[in-house]
């Protein structure tokens, strides 16, 4: 292993972990693909197992054996010892790493990996029966939690509008527990994401579109007629504003989760889990 002890927090080699923003990482090193950061051993392992190429690592010295050990074994198994030995592994005590990163992470492990080409929305839609669509969901915690629920409850994948948070952002991937590497996902183009274009695209591929929305004509989510459709796309809106009115109107169904005790709605991530469970029955 190529262990390198950190002696200078301002060293340019560490920019990836501390000074390059996540949007900038998309063109850093690899202008055509870009890179991303994965945090914690479990998330990193799932990224490696999904075929993402490791580039460099940052690890707290105290975590080398407990957290980084399984990662090293996985790299050697999948990529070979030569690849393992070529990857720079920057190490330092916990306090130094926290000063570099700017926040505390219990697992003390970060890895930069090369992205893979994203699947175009049209290709993504072709072989799916049950998908979720994240319509301008901009909170990375919600994106990660929705994708985790989609994977756990049997959905075939997630399609995101252009404005939605990238599932490979550090927080989204960490909240998803690495499931963003276990089910397919795609991001629509800016043009596809405008107005009702994405709804029309889904309908052209045979999907019945289901808007999660609190409207006067919304039906309960536990609906056998809706479940009976061969292909369903469950459309989730952003926390707060929800789905645009024109998107709700363009969908084939409008559904809601019955509420009690005066509660008007659930967090979008919690609502997604209920919706996926009901519609996969």
* Count of alpha carbons within 13 angstroms of residue 102, beta-carbon side: 7
Q: What tokens appear for 63 in the block? A: 């975590």
Q: What is the pLDDT of residue 104?
A: 61
Q: What tokens appear for 276 in the block? A: 């996926």
Strand partners, 208: 232
Q: What is the pLDDT of residue 113?
A: 95
Q: What is the pLDDT of residue 175?
A: 95
Position 259 confidence tier, pLDDT thresholds 50, 70, 90: confident
| Model confidence at 255: pLDDT above 70 | yes
Q: In what order do the strands lie in the sheet with 2-5?
A: 2-5, 88-92, 53-60, 109-114, 35-39
- Given a contact cutoff of 8 angstroms between Cβ atoms, the answer to whether 255 and 211 are in contact is yes
Which residues of the chain form CATH 3.40.1280.10? 121-279
User: Mean pLDDT, to the nearest integer, of 35-61?
Assistant: 94
- Given a contact cutoff of 8 angstroms between Cβ atoms, the answer to whether 116 and 26 are in contact is no
| Model confidence at 105: pLDDT above 70 | no
Tens of pLDDT along 11-22? 888 888 888 888
Q: In what order do the strands lie in the sheet with 208-212?
A: 185-187, 157-160, 130-135, 232-237, 208-212, 253-256, 219-220
Q: Which of 17-31, 58-72, 168-182, 262-276 has the lowest mean pLDDT?
A: 17-31
Position 236 confidence tier, pLDDT thresholds 50, 70, 90: very high
| Model confidence at 162: pLDDT above 70 | yes
| Model confidence at 106: pLDDT above 90 | no
Which DSSP category does 181 fall into?
Answer: G
Q: How far apart are CA 68 and CA 176, in angstroms?
A: 20
Which residues of the chain form CATH 3.30.1330.30? 2-114
Architecture of the domain whose range is 121-279: 3-Layer(aba) Sandwich (3.40)
Q: What is 2-114's CATH superfamily?
A: Ribosomal protein L30/S12 (3.30.1330.30)
| Model confidence at 152: pLDDT above 90 | yes
Average pLDDT, the chain: 91
pTM: 0.91
Q: What tokens appear for 123 in the block? A: 């290709």
| Model confidence at 32: pLDDT above 80 | no
CA distances from 6 to 10, 17, 21, 40, 249 (A): 10, 13, 21, 19, 56
Tens of pLDDT along 184-214? 999 999 999 999 999 999 999 999 999 998 8
Of residues 10, 22, 72, 15, the one with CA closest to residue 174: 22
């Amino acid at each position: 292993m190529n262990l390198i002890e950190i002696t200078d927090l301002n060293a340019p080699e560490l920019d990836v972990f501390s000074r390059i923003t996540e949007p900038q990482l998309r063109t850093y090193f690899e202008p055509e693909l870009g890179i991303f950061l994965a945090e914690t051993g479990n998330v990193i392992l799932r990224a490696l197992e999904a075929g993402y190429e490791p580039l460099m690592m940052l690890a707290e010295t105290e975590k080398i054996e407990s957290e980084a050990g399984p990662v090293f074994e996985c790299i050697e198994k999948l990529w070979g010892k030569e690849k393992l030995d070529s990857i720079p592994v920057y190490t330092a005590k916990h306090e130094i790493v926290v000063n570099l990163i700017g926040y505390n992470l219990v697992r003390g492990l970060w890895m930069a990996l090369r992205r893979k080409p994203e699947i175009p929305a049209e290709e993504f839609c072709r072989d799916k029966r049950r998908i979720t669509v994240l319509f301008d969901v901009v909170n990375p915690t919600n994106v990660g939690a929705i994708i985790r629920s989609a994977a756990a409850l049997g959905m075939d994948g997630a399609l995101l509008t252009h404005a939605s948070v990238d599932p490979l952002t550090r927080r989204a991937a960490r909240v998803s527990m690495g499931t963003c590497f276990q089910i397919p996902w795609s991001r629509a183009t800016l043009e596809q994401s405008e107005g009702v274009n994405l709804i029309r695209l889904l309908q052209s591929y045979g999907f019945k579109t289901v808007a999660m929305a609190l409207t006067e004509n919304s039906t309960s989510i536990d609906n056998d007629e809706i479940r009976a459709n061969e292909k369903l796309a469950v459309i989730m809106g952003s926390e707060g504003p929800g789905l645009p009115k024109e998107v709700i109107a363009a969908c084939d169904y409008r559904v809601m989760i019955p509420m009690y005790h005066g509660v008007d709605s659930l967090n979008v991530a919690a609502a997604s889990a209920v919706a996926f469970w009901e519609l996969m029955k």
